[in-house]
Amino acid sequence: MSTTLLVSSRDYIDLDFLFSKHPSTNNVTIKRNVNSVKQSVLHLMQLKSGDKPFHPEIKSPIYEYLFENFTNVTQVVLESEIQKYLNTYEPRLEVLSVEISYPDPNTINCAITGTIINLLLPFTINVLVNRIR
């Protein structure tokens, strides 16, 4: 007797944060699968302390290290904290790697490589954070 393994495929759908109007349906446009997860990760990485009312624990760790002296130890600690943060607050994403670089003393560039749980297509998201003052 043969058995078949059925893998359920699920579409991930989120509203587009630009809230633009769809040309044919006049509804708010939506983002699907990879674009949906990318938008969510970018949003999570840009959250600062106090952006989520009643949830001060949800904040990007990248802003805590923005004014630190950049060393190899700081880089490794930040990479592990970002990976833990994304694993906690974005369950649709499987983080493969996080790479931190410092193009100049006032900038942190974070490259996040990952896959969506149901789709095995790897993608990379770049987050660039600058010091203003």
**Of the candidates 35, 30, 34, which has an alpha carbon nearest to the alpha carbon of residue 20?**
30
Helix, strand, coil percentages for the chain (3-state, nearest 5): 25, 25, 50
Q: Which of the four pLDDT bands, split at 50, 70 and 90, describes residue 9? A: low
- Decide if pLDDT at 70 tops 70: yes
Quick one: average pLDDT of 19-48? Answer: 86
* Domains annotated on the chain, with CATH: 32-130 (3.10.450.40)
Quick one: average pLDDT of 90-114? Answer: 91
Instruction: Output the pTM of the full model.
Output: 0.81
Question: What pairs with residue 21 in β-bridges?
Answer: 28
Give the Cα separation of 32 and 30 in Å (integer).
7
How far out from the chain centre does Cα 11 lie? 18
Quick one: average pLDDT of 4-29? Answer: 72
Give the Cα separation of 39 and 58 in Å (integer).
17
Under a CB-based contact definition with an 8 Å cutoff, are residues 56 and 50 in contact?
yes
- Decide if pLDDT at 102 tops 60: yes
Q: Which residues of 27-38 are buried (b: 16+ CB within 10 A; e: fewer)?
A: eeeebebeebbb
- Residue 115 CB partners (closer than 8 Å, separation 6+): 93, 94, 96, 121, 122, 123
Under a CB-based contact definition with an 8 Å cutoff, are residues 70 and 87 in contact?
no
Q: Both ends of the chain: CA-CA distance in Å?
A: 69
